Structure 1
Amino acid sequence: MRYNLMSSNVAECLNPALAKAFEFPIVSMIEIIQMMLMRWFYIRRQKANNTISPVTPEVEKKLMEHLSQSAGLPVSPSSQVIYQVNTREGVNFTVDLEQKTCTCKVFDTLGIPCCHALAAAKVCGLPVVALVDDEYMTSDWINTYNCNVMPVPDANDSYTAEETSDTDMLPPESKTGPGRHKKRRIPSVGEGHVSQKAA
């Protein structure tokens, strides 16, 4: 489940956040990433625990939009779970509340009931929350950030074997090319921004 986010590479989303960390040595970079994840998990855990709604705030906002669009839509029942919903433009849509589908494909794709499904649910008295996929529930959101990212330990507090501490560790041999080191990564194909020139 993509949670309504379309991305070809999740790692590309982290690159801007880690741009400064890439300039540090490897150990410092790992510590910065750990501190960043610790802060992110804490903020999201607090936000999830303070949410009263059974669904996440973004989904609740989307549901409110669909509810306003469902007002006044004529609904014709075919069975206890299948309904025909007519729009103001005269287009008919078939909603299956048991399979959580609608011929408009919004319900099928997002996992969030469309305005046609909400209009049908209002007729049969089905709670709106029952139509939302489990991935959008606040309980799943809380469980996602339930684990703690521990703080970076101090180097003096960690045990180091004597045979390791007495050994002089030298950096690996490497050849440094001419010119300055690149600080910014090279964007992949289709990743760069298209510049629009004024006509």
Structure 2
Amino acid sequence: MDNASYAYNEHKFNKAMDDLKAESEEAWQWLSAIPKKTWARHAFDTNSKTDLVVNNLSEVFNKYILDHRKKPIRTMCDGIKDKQMVRWHRNRESGKEARWEITPHYSEKLEIEKERARYCKPIQAGVNLWQVTSGEQTHAVNLELQTCGCRKWDLSGIPCNHAISVINKAKRFPEDYVRKFFKKPYYLAAYEPMIYPVPGEHDWTKTPSPDIEPPAFKVKKERKKEKRIKGKFEVPKPKSTSRMGTITCSNCGLQGHKYTSRLKQLKPELALSKNKHVVS
């Protein structure tokens, strides 16, 4: 990560912590006690070969099955199975005809790192061991172990800009240092298993046991909640629709209260009204 990206992320982190402190001192103290490195990419396990810190994959899948996920369980499973069966076959066939050797998404990432590698200065320290300077940062790159001090190569499986500058200096090809998980043979292997068609109810095997009936569906008569449940640390919004904001006191002329809620001396006619016209 370069200096500009690091400074930007540090700014966002500090702003988020300041906002949290303003909402809840207790939550801020609890989060501040956790070492910052446990929230950063450099603390990730390098076996997974991903640097994602968001749940984009699950969000994409949820949108993909949007037209099926609210249906009854059996209909939902059949619908998702059919979509996956079609998709796997399409990817299996298109992968065989594809001319790329690295999947398009990671090929684009590699090209971005190639562009950034122009600003790196590699110096060889030994066999397959290099020192790379980029701006004010210096990292060690090991071509044999395929590691870099910035840990981006270790996490993602795609050579970072520091590593690519070394690979170019050594007159080699960056594509050869992309992990096999992102190349065509592994892509085809991922879609090699087939999702087989499932027969309909008319072809199901008959059993002597009684049929399992679906559970009874009861509609609750209570009114459905329309407002969402607020978070623990969420500050409630002011009630701008409050009627008390429009009430004017008949005694003093100020808004926000009634004349009956004040201890000031009332006008004679208001005093009679308050005492229900009973003269003391």
- Normalised to the residue count of structure 1, the TM-score between the two structures is 0.73
Distance 1:71 1:152, change over 3 A: same
- Normalised to the residue count of structure 2, the TM-score between the two structures is 0.54
2-side partners of 1:2 and 1:22: how far apart? 30
Per the TM alignment, residue 118 of structure 1 is displaced from its structure 2 partner at its CA by 0.9
> Where does residue 193 of structure 1 map in the other structure?
none
Per the TM alignment, residue 120 of structure 1 is displaced from its structure 2 partner at its CA by 0.8
Per the TM alignment, residue 86 of structure 1 is displaced from its structure 2 partner at its CA by 2.6
Alignment of 1:157-168 (within 5 A): 157-161=203-207, 163=208
Are 2:150 and 1:104 equivalent residues in the alignment?
Answer: yes
Please provide the CA RMSD for this pair. Answer: 3.1
Larger RCO, structures 1/2 (Cα 8 Å, 6+ apart): 1
Amino acid at match of 2:159: P
Q: Count matched residues.
A: 181
SS of residue matched to 1:5: coil
Structure 1 or 2, whichever has the larger Rg, is 2
The 8 Å contact of residues 74 and 86 in structure 1, kept in 2 or not, is answered as: yes
Are 2:170 and 1:127 equivalent residues in the alignment?
Answer: no
> Where does residue 221 of structure 2 map in the other structure?
178
SS of residue matched to 1:16: helix
| Match for residue 43 of structure 1 among 81, 84, 90 | 90
Alignment gaps of 5+ in structure 1:
190-199
- Deviations along 1:53-109, one digit per CA (max 9) or x if unpaired, are 32211111111111122236432111121111233x354322111121112222122
Amino acid at match of 1:33: I
| Match for residue 107 of structure 2 among 50, 57, 60 | 60
SS of residue matched to 1:146: coil
| Match for residue 197 of structure 2 among 135, 138, 151 | 151
| Match for residue 19 of structure 1 among 40, 50, 66 | 66
SS of residue matched to 2:221: coil
The 8 Å contact of residues 73 and 85 in structure 1, kept in 2 or not, is answered as: yes
1-side partners of 2:72 and 2:55: how far apart? 29
- Deviations along 1:99-149, one digit per CA (max 9) or x if unpaired, are 211122221221211111111112223332332222222211111111111
Between Structure 1 and Structure 2, the one with more helix by share is 2
Alignment gaps of 5+ in structure 2:
1-47, 232-280
1-side partners of 2:219 and 2:173: how far apart? 65
